[in-house]
Each structure stands twice: as structure tokens, then as C-alpha cells.
Amino acid sequence: MWMDPDFYFMMLVIPAIVFSLAMQIMVKSAYKKQSRVRNARGITGAMAAQMVLAFYGVQNVRIEVTRGRLSDHYDPRTGVIRLSEGVCNAASVAAVGIAAHEAGHAAQHAGGYVPIKLRNAILPVCNIGSMLAVPLMILGFVLDFFGLITIGLALYALVVVFQLATLPVEFNASRRAMEAIDGQALLQGSDRAGAKKVLNAAAMTYVAALVVSLANLLRFMLRFSRRR
């Protein structure tokens, strides 16, 4: 049974997917709950992002509103923090936490944070790898050409490395966010605890993505090593 490909899928990938889904539910639940709580100071997401930038002495970063739910991100190419409609002008606990996190990414770029440089350096190759890895493995399997399978596995492994490199970047951005929140007294008491719950839940989604990718990589390696 150990050599059955279906066994690899059930024992490796399915539990990882269940874990990933649980983490996504957790972050949505935390966001939904804390987005309904107005913070005591009435600070909006845009205001929080600006205050975090000031805390770290970051200049020349714009704040814009973007469509979508939980679509918040920092674009280092344009120096813009894009906050979703439910964050930018909202004065909720969740809005402050999320906006502060994105401003934390801007602070990373401004300060030359090494892990984010490493992640960005391998990003182009990882984008290619995410598109070509599985097709190359399948083609190599069909043609019985193990060289293609090896290339596909290597490309997929790079995707895993990228996700691994993402973890310190995301956790550090949240740490910077909480430091600025405390330093500027943006949130206190239960408001602070609520924002931290949102950030912790969001961080776990990146852990879950890594777990899924690792499970898939191990499944592919076991499956194709058997073919070898």
C-alpha cells in the first residue's frame, strides 16, 4: 500500500489541504470579528499606515485604496501601500492591524531587510517554476524521461524555498506593526489583543501554504522515484 500513489495523496496532501482550509477560515473569522470592533481612538487604516511609516522614518510611500476583500499589499516597485475598501477608511481594530502590517513591509524595504531581498531575488524563477514544474513532471512521466521529471521537481522545490523565505518576511512585518502600534499607542488593551489575533491568523495562512507545498513536493518525489 505504501507504494500506491493514492496513498501518498491521502496521507500527505489531504491533511495539508485540510490544515490550509482551517487556517483560511481562522483568518476570515478573526478579520470578520475584529472588523466590527471600532478602535478606541477612531484611527482608520490609512491613518494607521501613515503613523507606522512615520514611526520607522519611511518617506515617499503613498497610500491608496484598492478593490477587494483582504487584498491589502505593499508594492515596492511603485512605493504604494494599497489598502482594501474595508481597511483604508475603516476605524476598526482589524483595519489598524492590517494596515500596520503592510506599512511594516514598506519599512522592511526602506531598511534593506535581508530576507525580503532574498525572497524578491528568487521570485522571477519561482514564478516560472510554479507554471512549468507540474507540466514538466507529467511530460517526463509520459515520455519516460527522468531528466524532465528531475527539472520539474527542482522547479517545484524552488517554489517551496520561496514560501519558506516568505515566513520570516511576514512574521517580521507583523512584529514591526505591533512595535509601532505600541510605540504610537495606536491600540491598547482588548483592541491591541484583537489586532494581534488578526495578524497571527494571517501569518498562519503562509505556514499552511508552505505545508501544502511541502506535502506535494514529497508526494511527487515518492511517486516519481518509484517510477525511476
- Of 160, 166, 98, 167, the closest CA to residue 130 belongs to 160
Q: Which residue do the cell numbers 517554489 mark?
A: 159
The answer on pLDDT for 152 being more than 60 is yes
pLDDT for 57 equals 97
pLDDT for 208 equals 94
- Residue 71 to residue 94: CA distance in whole angstroms: 13
Residues 52-89: tens digit of each pLDDT: 999 999 999 999 999 988 899 999 999 999 999 999 99
pLDDT for 153 equals 93
pLDDT for 129 equals 84
The answer on pLDDT for 7 being more than 50 is yes
Element (H, E) at 21: helix 14-34
Strand segments, DSSP code E, in the chain are: 62-66, 73-75, 80-84
Arithmetic mean of pLDDT, 124-143: 88
Residue 141 pLDDT grade (very low, low, confident, very high; cuts 50, 70, 90): confident
Give percent of the chain above pLDDT 90.
71
* Catalytic positions, written as ranges: 102
pLDDT for 2 equals 44
- Of 13, 15, 7, 14, the closest CA to residue 226 belongs to 7
Measured between alpha carbons, how far is residue 143 from residues 62, 73, 155, 166, 203 in Å? 51, 42, 19, 35, 41
pLDDT for 98 equals 97
pLDDT for 144 equals 81
Q: Which residue do the cell numbers 531575488 mark?
A: 121
CB within 8 A of 141, min separation 6: which ones? 149, 224, 227
The answer on pLDDT for 5 being more than 60 is no
Cβ atoms of 69 and 18 within 8 Å: the answer is no
Q: Greater confidence, 16 or 193?
A: 193
Arithmetic mean of pLDDT, 26-31: 94
- Residue 48 to residue 130: CA distance in whole angstroms: 35
Q: Dihedrals φ, ψ of 196, to 5°?
A: -65, -35
Map out the domains of the chain as residue ranges: 5-227
Residues 160-219: tens digit of each pLDDT: 999 999 999 999 999 999 999 999 999 999 999 999 999 999 999 999 999 999 988 988
Mean pLDDT of the chain: 91
pLDDT for 63 equals 97
Arithmetic mean of pLDDT, 93-122: 94
